[in-house]
Amino acid sequence: MVLLSAVGEFLADLRPEIRIVDLQTKRLRGALFPLIRCLRLSRPDALLACIWPLTVIAVWARRIARVRTRVVVAEHTTWSMDEIVRSALGRWKVRTTMHFSFPGADAVVAVSRGAADDLARFARLDRADIHVVYNPIVGEARPFADVLHAPEGWWSGSHRRVLAVGTLKPIKDYATLLTAFACLRQSVDARLLILGEGECRAALEAQSRQLGIVDSVFMPGFVKDPSPYYQHADLHVLSSIGEGLPTVIVEALEAGTPVVSTDCQSGPREILLDGKYGSLVPVGDAEALAAAMANALSATHDRELLKARAQDFSIDKAVNQYLDRLFPGVGHGGPT
Residue among 46, 38, 2, 43 nearest 22 (CA): 2
> What is the bridge-based pairing of β-strands 130-132 and 279-281?
unpaired
Q: Quick check: is 143 in a domain?
A: no
Do 85 and 26 share a domain, yes or no?
Answer: yes
How many domains, in total, are found in the chain?
A: 2
Do 229 and 187 share a domain, yes or no?
Answer: yes
Do 11 and 118 share a domain, yes or no?
Answer: yes
> What is the bridge-based pairing of β-strands 279-281 and 46-50?
unpaired
Q: pLDDT for 14-53, tens place per residue?
A: 999 999 999 999 888 899 999 999 999 999 999 999 999 9
Q: Quick check: is 57 in a domain?
A: yes
Do 27 and 176 share a domain, yes or no?
Answer: no
The list of the chain residues with pLDDT below 50 reads 334-336
CA distances in angstroms from 33 to 29, 70, 172, listed in the order given? 9, 18, 34
Do 126 and 172 share a domain, yes or no?
Answer: no
Structural domain including 54 reads 2-136+314-326
Residues 6+ apart with CB under 8 A from 8: none
Q: pLDDT for 53-68, tens place per residue?
A: 999 999 999 999 999 9
| CATH number, domain containing residue 214 | 3.40.50.2000
Do 15 and 43 share a domain, yes or no?
Answer: yes
- The pLDDT of residue 147 is 67
